[in-house]
Amino acid sequence: MSIKHAKTWVIAWLLVLLAGSTAFGQGLQEFQLFKPADTGTYGKFFDPVDPMPYGDSSPPNEGFFVLWDGLIWSISSPNVSPIGDAGLVSRVVYTGPWSEDLFIQTNTHDTGAFGSRSTQGERIEFGKMTGHHGWVCSTFRLNSKTQSIETSDMDVVWIDDAFGPTGTRYLQGWYEVPGGDATADPPVPPIWPPDVPPSDYWVATNADGDPVYAVYRDLPVTYEDVLIQNRVETWSAELMYVYRTHRQHHGGYYELFGGVRYMEFDERFTVQASGGILDESVWHTNGENHIIGPQVGGRWFQQRGRWQLSVEGRFFAGINFQSVRQTGTLGTNLAGGVDAAGDPILGTGSEGMPRVLSATSFNSVLYEEEWSPGAELRAELKYKVTGAINLRVGWTGMYLDGIARPSGMVNYEIPTMGIRPDNNRQGIFVNGLTLGIELNR
């Protein structure tokens, strides 16, 4: 659901947060969040682990802490979308002037080959705990991941609505009808195809410059060589207050979180295609998702000897400020000329080519605001090397809704394409392994 006053809500929420900080100020001084930790804590980095009775270990560390994780995460693929209009499904096209030259053209390719591929990244967290109170700042970034599909003979169904008083279409061209002689005196017309109305009869000029009888037909769009690419990158930053409970009777501790989070999810969808009547076409569609909002969560952890198990979750109520931009050119070679071998290139108005469409460039932008709720779950196992140094391994899973993914937002309409605003709410699932080290956590 679109949010009309999303920016106003964000500003109001931030003002409330700032106002609340005054009320918390006295408490923060009491918490001593920013007071230097006891230097004795850092002097124990290499002290041995101090086991407690009944297999428990010493109380959780206090003071400043920092951790680093290497990430091997995967991002779910976008919903499968055809390369071509999904609603129109098919077009009736012709490869010649006669009815037997008719065939039904459909979209032959889609984005289904894009999978959920893994990529690497890193996560860094730092903060401070003093008694029951503290704060934590966390950020992660995944390396950009590009998937490519190289293919050939791709049929694309375009929206090609009629325009003008005669109902002209951009993907309409002419084919010569044999049997007549337009150069004779008087001219000798051919036997016209019976399914063609007289309004579509035409005297055209062939490649030799001679007049010929022709009819208009809707032309197929088939690209001979195609490269389809999808690139994804994402990062996040969060700042939260932390409250740690007393030790529970089972030996574990609970921590409660509350704060703010910003996340960015960017994706670029590109098609480069050559051959056919729209030879040398390319279109890029970029989707940027800027998500910000409050976040709450909790963490449970328990130490047994050198081993610690922890589970934590976060719930994120984000507002997504989406920015989608599309650029490209259709039919660069419709301008005509010669190719690298010196052979002529058939351009606009040639037989079997569009009669009015010329090379067309375009640039479109769409801005939307959407709710993007999300949830994150972590499970981690740690090995205590010393009193303050832990090695850690774990799994993280994250789900976000209301994400603009550009491969499903392309409007395949001749001549300037466009962006579909009705398909900007896809869900994404990010998950994978973490491996790292932490100090004084």
Instruction: Render pLDDT for 351-403 as a digit per residue (tens, 0 to 9).
Output: 999 988 999 999 999 999 999 999 999 999 999 999 899 999 999 999 999 99
Domain residue spans of the chain: 6-154+223-439
- pLDDT (mean) for 208-219: 91
Contact 381, 394 (CB under 8 A): yes
CA distance 283 to 424: 18
Contact 368, 351 (CB under 8 A): no
Sign of CA dihedral 191, 195, 198, 203: negative
Q: Which two tokens stand for residue 230?
A: 């999808």
Q: Which two tokens stand for residue 51?
A: 């086991």
Residues ≥6 apart with Cβ < 8 Å to 239: 135, 136, 137, 259, 260
3-class DSSP assignment, residue 241: strand
Give the pLDDT band (50/70/90) at residue 141.
very high
Give the per-residue SS3 of 52-112. CHHHCECCCCCEEEEEEEEEEEEECCCCCCECCCCCCCEEEEECCCCHHHEEEEECCCECC
Would you say residue 346 has pLDDT above 90?
no
pLDDT tens profile 301-345: 999 989 999 999 999 999 999 999 999 999 998 876 555 666 656
Q: In Å, how far are 163, 168, 253, 387 from 212, measured between CA atoms?
A: 26, 20, 88, 92
Would you say residue 348 has pLDDT above 90?
no
**Cβ density class 378-416: b for 16+ within 10 Å, e for less:** bebebebeebbbbebebebebbbbbbbbbbbbbbbbbbe
pLDDT tens profile 19-56: 344 434 433 443 343 344 444 444 455 666 655 544 45
* pLDDT (0 to 100) of residue 165: 87
Going by C-alpha positions, the residue among 90, 83, 86, 80 that lies closest to residue 151 is 83
Q: Cis omega (within 30 of 0) on the bond before 415?
A: yes
* pLDDT (0 to 100) of residue 28: 40
- Give 394 or 2, the one with higher predicted confidence: 394
Would you say residue 18 has pLDDT above 60?
no
CATH among 3.30.70.100, 3.40.190.10, 2.40.128.100, 2.40.30.10 for 6-154+223-439: 2.40.128.100
* pLDDT (0 to 100) of residue 250: 84
For residue 181, the tally of other CB atoms under 10 A from its CB is 14
Going by C-alpha positions, the residue among 360, 332, 407 that lies closest to residue 149 is 407
Contact 398, 430 (CB under 8 A): yes
3-class DSSP assignment, residue 418: coil
Instruction: List the single range of 183-192, 367-376, 422-431 with lowest mean pLDDT.
Output: 183-192
pLDDT tens profile 276-311: 999 999 999 999 999 999 999 999 999 998 999 999
Would you say residue 239 has pLDDT above 80?
yes
Q: Cis omega (within 30 of 0) on the bond before 82?
A: no
Instruction: List the single range of 19-23, 176-180, 403-407, 413-417 with lowest mean pLDDT.
Output: 19-23
What is the rounded (10 degree) CA torsion for 50, 53, 54, 60? -50
3-class DSSP assignment, residue 406: helix
Looking at 256-398, list the stretches that DSSP marks H as alpha helix, in order from N- to C-terminal side: none
CA distance 132 to 244: 5
* pLDDT (0 to 100) of residue 383: 97
* pLDDT (0 to 100) of residue 438: 97
User: Of 7-16, 112-121, 264-273, which has the strongest mean pLDDT?
Assistant: 264-273
Q: How far is CA 189 from the centre of its chain?
A: 56
Going by C-alpha positions, the residue among 346, 325, 324, 320 that lies closest to residue 335 is 346
